[in-house]
A and B are shown apart, each in its own frame.
Chain A
Amino acid sequence: MRKRTNGVGLFSYAVFYLAFLYVPVLFLPLFSFNRSVFIAFPLTGFTTQWYRDMSADSAMLHALGNSLEVGTVTAIFSTMLGLLAAKALTRYRVPGGGALLAITSLPLFIPDIVLGISLLILLNALSIPLSLLTVIAGHSLICVPFAITVLMSRFEGFDKSLEEASLDLGENGWMTFWRVTFPLALPGIISSLLLTFIVSFDEFLIAYFLAGNEATLPIYIWGQLRFPYKLPAVLALGALILVASTILVVLAEWTRSRGLGDRKHMMVGA
């Protein structure tokens, strides 16, 4: 029971911090059920009107579909690339491996607006038409470093001699990947898929530059902010996305910690 006052100070800081973090987010579902078009207190009554509006808004649903499509393809593509890179960097003597890792992580440190403009210039110069495909390319660029980081920590977590044991027991490299590497890396793969999906799903700047005539959800929502009467439906959708992404994050965290659990077991008794 030493330094009790200090404990109170830290506790109120933590409460304030969490409130600052989550209370604004909680306004989203709150106002999505509020009868008034205007986002202001006091609340005027309960309604599900905005959810009906939302499900009737075909342009919004189309944008949501685009975002899901871009997010899914980006997640799979960047996780595949990340898997190959992570395996190479942790398993083989790659000349200049450290420099390679730094270069692939670079997109994390370049402001998205710079990245977006540069990609737009490049695509124009190559006369590649803008579409969801170009958005996927742009998103993969920023998602691959996330995938590499997540997967490298997973690969470093299991003994390299497990793969050697498989080769020693008569399997070739391909079968070793499927029988040993893949199942052991699976928690990392799942958490990389979820993470890269979320990064792509809420990315605005790069998508804004590269989407052409199509719109992803963030772009669509940005466009709707000009029309006050459309805002409540956006809140309704926002509330649903909030629920969905909370579930995804919890899932990602759960698979990751389960993976860490495996790792602990692998160390025991060695």
Chain B
Amino acid sequence: MSEETDLRIEHVSKSFGAVLAVDDADLAIRRGEFFSLLGPSGCGKTTLLRIIAGFEYPTSGEIRFEGLRITDEPPNRRPSNMVFQSYAIFPHLNVFDNIAYGLRKDRLTRAELGRRVDEALAMIKLDGFGTRRADELSGGQRQRVALARALVRRPKVLLLDEPLGALDRRLREAMQIELRALQKSVGITFVFVTHDQEEALSMSDRIAVMSSGRILQVAAPRTLYEEPNCREVADFIGQMNFFNGRLIGQDGAVGVIDLGPMGKVHIATELGPDVLVALRPEKIVLSSSGVKGTVTAAAYLGERSHYNVAVPGLAEPVSVASQNAEKIITRGHAVGDTVYLSWPPDALVALPKD
């Protein structure tokens, strides 16, 4: 992937009446990148995608592609094509004519047109489906046709609005892998909207987490998971324990933070004096030494077990996830057991107190 910036969203805001749907979004999406907009429904991610596609015009801000301002260009003059959430397969046309729809202006010969569409059908593994009617396709097949219809135009950017949301779980997981492989092979920029954090983590090069119209953090999946920059991001991606802490000393870049019942810890941070300290449930180890607590709930989930551990002095129980690497038919912890919590020092993340 080149580091060159392809698509620039510069301080874009969009309001519908009194509602601010997108609030000062600022993004630089690189060429060939698989970029996801992740957030709960109503966070503005679809509105932002529609602004990039040209279906909505921003109230303020600019959209630039390869340095050129495209803010006011209509959708038919943008370098992008879109895969709609509903797929928007034309019901009055068959699969061939759906895929060929966007090629009319290219004035191809009949043979050339047939070749392009056949190539597209082969790419989505639907060879021979050209004469099928739209209503004869399954959900997964419609999704592929929508993909082929957009890609056959050889766009520079492909926009995808929750394209896997309507598929069942198994098909969705298969399509995630296929979509990612397709993106690598065609090498174009994908901007992918989803509310599914696992989907975003597994597919994306980078993710922008959105909430209430604002972009909270833009980072690679690993960074987002391991080093969230605020409580909302930490909470939205995976599970997280939060502890209130107080900075009581500073040793260069490392702060000494008092977590009360959880003890005193060292974290590289410049925040303070009041901080929020986050710790993932799966980073906590149940061992023979550490912070003492009592198991108040235990759930066996197959590949892992989940425990709630009450620590005296903490209002909320600590959530612990432990991998069941060995058979634990007899082992494991039951409700009422006394356990000791410990964690690797770099597992702690300091966040601003909200």
A-to-B contact residues, CB < 8 Å: 158-159, 161-162, 164-172, 179-180, 183-184, 262, 265-266, 268-270
Contact = CB atoms under 8 A, between A and B. Distances in A.
A87 B142 CA distance: 26
A150 to B, nearest CB: 19
A170 B76 contact: yes
A269 B150 CA distance: 19
Contact of B74 (A158, A167, A262, A266): A167
A262 B76 contact: no
Contact of B76 (A159, A172, A184, A270): A172
Interface residues of B, number: 31
Given A164-B55, A169-B81, 19 more contacts: A159-B88, A164-B82, A165-B84, A167-B54, A167-B76, A168-B76, A169-B76, A169-B149, A169-B153, A171-B76, A171-B105, A172-B74, A184-B92, A265-B134, A266-B91, A268-B135, A269-B138, A269-B142, A270-B86
B348 interface: no
15 contacts: A158-B91, A161-B84, A161-B85, A161-B88, A165-B90, A169-B81, A171-B104, A171-B105, A172-B76, A265-B91, A265-B135, A266-B91, A269-B139, A270-B142, A270-B166
In the complex, the 6 A-B pairs of residues with the closest C-beta atoms, listed nearest first: A169-B102, A265-B135, A165-B88, A161-B88, A167-B75, A161-B84
A253 B135 CA distance: 23
Contact of A164 (B80, B84, B135, B137): B84
Interface of B: 53-55, 74-76, 80-82, 84-88, 90-92, 101-102, 104-105, 134-135, 137-139, 142, 149-150, 153, 166
A162 B92 CA distance: 11
Contacts of B55: 164, 167-168
A167 B105 CA distance: 13
Give the interface centre of A164, A165, A169, A270 by most chain B CB atoms within 10 Å. A169
B90 A162 contact: yes
A165 B146 CA distance: 10
Give the interface centre of A162, A168, A179, A268 by most chain B CB atoms within 10 Å. A168
A179 B85 CA distance: 21
A183 B134 CA distance: 15
A166 B91 CA distance: 13
Contacts of B137: 269
Contact of B88 (A164, A171, A269): A164
Nearest to B77: A170
Contact of B101 (A158, A159, A166, A183): A166
Nearest to B100: A169
Contacts of A180: 90
Given A170-B153, A172-B76, A270-B87, A165 B135 contact: no
A161 B90 CA distance: 10
Contact of B86 (A161, A167, A171, A265): A161
A172 B54 CA distance: 13
A270 B101 CA distance: 20
A168 B138 contact: no
Contacts of B153: 169-170
A167 B80 CA distance: 11
Nearest to A268: B135
B253 to A, nearest CB: 49
Nearest to A158: B91
A25 B53 CA distance: 59
Contacts of A167: 54-55, 74-76
Contacts of B138: 269
A78 B73 CA distance: 34
Contacts of B86: 159, 161, 270
A183 B101 CA distance: 14
Contacts of B104: 170-171
Given A161-B84, A265-B134, A265-B135, A169 B101 contact: yes
Contacts of A172: 74, 76
Contacts of A262: 91-92
Contacts of B135: 265-266, 268-269
Give the interface centre of B75, B80, B82, B104 by most chain A CB atoms within 10 Å. B75
Contact of B75 (A168, A179, A184, A266): A168
Nearest to A262: B91
Nearest to A182: B92
Contacts of A162: 88, 90-91
